[in-house]
Structure 1
């Protein structure tokens, strides 16, 4: 299953910084939300009970589990009410630098829900008496106070200290499918608009106003393409410098990637833009592309492979935002690819990580033109219904074509290929 959806680089010059001064976000949580903090904690699902059960006073693991859960609840309350000292109070001084950065990043992102749920019994660390390792799932919402929270499974490490165990470390979630979130590993600043939240590191703070304006405009387009429910409550966008690009969500993206959308659960895909691959003119196109992924893709991700052309084709179609086909940037790449080594099969388009930017650009362009042909022939709504049947419902393209278009797929596939060759020729 594909965990993220990358988009190719533009060949345009690199970004020119926007000379706009950022007003830092300093507003706190609304009073009504603060009043709900205690309710959040009391509604936290019960932790997995260790052997012996929570009522067994002679079971040290059971007793430790209760004490750790209480400490995590205490920390959650402190985070949501803006109490940095309270957030750090459960931790050893050696952990304060890391936890203080996490606290500041989450507050900058306007965290509105934070729950720490133990996901198994604590285990004693071999050879270290009084030390415990506790798996935990953090569940969080940003900006919006009522959302399906995104989960982050991590491990925490503790030492005994009477009835108030002390937190020693929170490990990064890099071992999980989505990798480390930006707020786990970086100092962040952020701005929020009606439909989007855009965050980056302090080095790029002056770019935030322009990025927010671009993101808000892109959101108006992406909001047209949810196929199985409402669009996201807020589109979450992270702007990555070189170091962050290599680390956020596990890094390791193909060299031709300018941005990607990664599923983080709770109905959310978080979008990352590569600062080194963008220009002022290209940012809007990329944001429309990636936010459309966030609006259109299922929470679980999608199988990839033979459906790649459809997923990327729809995002490229949204990125073009109604522009004439002859203005599409990648037509020259498509022309060379169609005249060269392409086998004429949409299912074979997926670019490899080590492909050239031209080869990757051609693959995206073929997907765009194929989807454009479906829209021109059947309209957007039936094309979106076809997308839903294939990407969300798991139907084959043959089944979905008959169901949605009342046409067999192979002749329609061949029509799309003929259109690709004609439009790019």
Structure 2
């Protein structure tokens, strides 16, 4: 289930996020799918060297300047030493490249990454150093890091961060590692928070030390949800590990940039390498809603393309599949959003699936009704054609960017106009509208 319906709001391939959300009352949990449009190719960014500190002033960010390249090579060498120390579990070595004021934040980051069982950490310079305005003797280097947790041979996720340096003696020294603020994903939890972590066969669950008592139950529920989500892989293989972050109030406002609608209780956000992290809002989740919330969000992680999706008109399909997985085979008449569906179909909805996506400020019943209608439409297509053909249709529309008309003819052998009306007639009948 995705929450509070943040719709896709950026064109395919852009750097902005596409979102979806929803809320259930009283048993529904609001969730939000943040579909990140990452340019997540291999993190093979040009490694531009940093060479020894010259007595004179290095050039301010000119890739053609030999002094800037040499300084960059020396900074990269320091980052490589730090990466080796991180993977070896050598905290003193990890901190050795930094000046004392930078070490507390780096100590926290080291502990969080080790708790998450970091297996790959590949920093690469993105450009050359540039002087920091107004801070004499200080340089900024943008670094792109490819990283993996638990699994050694995964396709790395990526994050771009700013680093600031000073030359101390003949050696560049870290003075600040900035948190990632760039679109689309914002600061990862391991950048800004202490973390307690539990690892299972298919999932890893992390939260703050204050909420660590929740971890055993959350891990068991996440493992069960992963078994369901694995069934809805649309292309390729299931995620090597589903990563779930359980956020307290402060963390909810900060992790991945915060700023979700107030009715949001969870979301999935793409972080590159085909991975989507899942975040749950500890303040909004009810015990009755967490299992279908997890099934819904992990299904997004399993089914969505690496770059997310950006077509608002297909919101119903993305959310409908996740809702279908969240329902986990229960009879239609037990779906707990039927009251909201009934209100929507009897109210102002125009009867078009491609106009279902609710606004960020939509009322709770409007959001719940949109999720429910999406679920019923997907459920009807599954009942008529089977799950595999439904997944083929999803792949054609969401992954291959085919129109619903072309995808319906290709996968179902029927015109979409007729199928659309059939789905709407079905859900109106189910809702008694």
Q: Please confirm whether the aligned pair reaches a TM-score higher than 0.5, indicating the same fold.
A: yes
Partner in structure 2 of residue 104 of structure 1: 111
Rate the CA distance shift 1:44–1:337 in 2: closer, same or farther, 3 A: closer
Are residue 161 (structure 1) and residue 168 (structure 2) matched?
yes
Once the two structures are superposed, the pairs formed by residues 26-425 of structure 1 within 5 Å of their partners are 47-48=47-48, 59-425=66-432
Q: Deviations over 1:255-311 (max 9, x none)?
A: 221111000001100000111111222111000000000000000010130000000
3-state SS of the aligned residue for 1:407?
Answer: coil
Kept in 1: contact 2:198–2:204 (CA 8 A): yes
d(CA) in 2 for partners of 1:191, 1:354: 35
3-state SS of the aligned residue for 1:284?
Answer: helix
Rate the CA distance shift 1:128–1:246 in 2: closer, same or farther, 3 A: closer
Gap regions ≥5 residues in structure 2: 1-9, 11-15, 30-42, 51-57
d(CA) in 1 for partners of 2:115, 2:320: 34
d(CA) in 1 for partners of 2:263, 2:18: 15
d(CA) in 2 for partners of 1:424, 1:13: 18
d(CA) in 1 for partners of 2:384, 2:131: 64
Higher helix proportion (structure 1 or 2):
1
Gap regions ≥5 residues in structure 1: 16-42
Kept in 1: contact 2:246–2:280 (CA 8 A): yes
d(CA) in 2 for partners of 1:283, 1:178: 23
- Worse-matched range after superposition: 160-169 or 293-302: 160-169
Q: Could you state the TM-score of these two structures normalised by the residue count of structure 2?
A: 0.88
Using the TM superposition, give the Cα deviation of residue 97 of structure 1 relative to its aligned residue in structure 2, in angstroms.
1.1
Q: Deviations over 1:322-373 (max 9, x none)?
A: 0000111100000001001110000111111111211111100000000000
3-state SS of the aligned residue for 1:272?
Answer: strand
d(CA) in 2 for partners of 1:45, 1:279: 43
Q: Deviations over 1:23-77 (max 9, x none)?
A: xxxxxxxxxxxxxxxxxxxx9865146899xxx9x93212211110000001001
Kept in 2: contact 1:222–1:295 (CA 8 A): yes
Using the TM superposition, give the Cα deviation of residue 108 of structure 1 relative to its aligned residue in structure 2, in angstroms.
0.8
d(CA) in 2 for partners of 1:420, 1:160: 67
- Worse-matched range after superposition: 415-424 or 157-166: 157-166
d(CA) in 1 for partners of 2:342, 2:44: 56
Kept in 2: contact 1:12–1:278 (CA 8 A): no
Q: Could you state the TM-score of these two structures normalised by the residue count of structure 1?
A: 0.89
Partner in structure 2 of residue 8 of structure 1: 22
Kept in 2: contact 1:9–1:278 (CA 8 A): no
Tell me how large the CA RMSD over aligned residues is: 2.1
d(CA) in 1 for partners of 2:21, 2:47: 39
Using the TM superposition, give the Cα deviation of residue 4 of structure 1 relative to its aligned residue in structure 2, in angstroms.
5.2
Q: Deviations over 1:214-258 (max 9, x none)?
A: 000000000000011101000010001111111111111112211
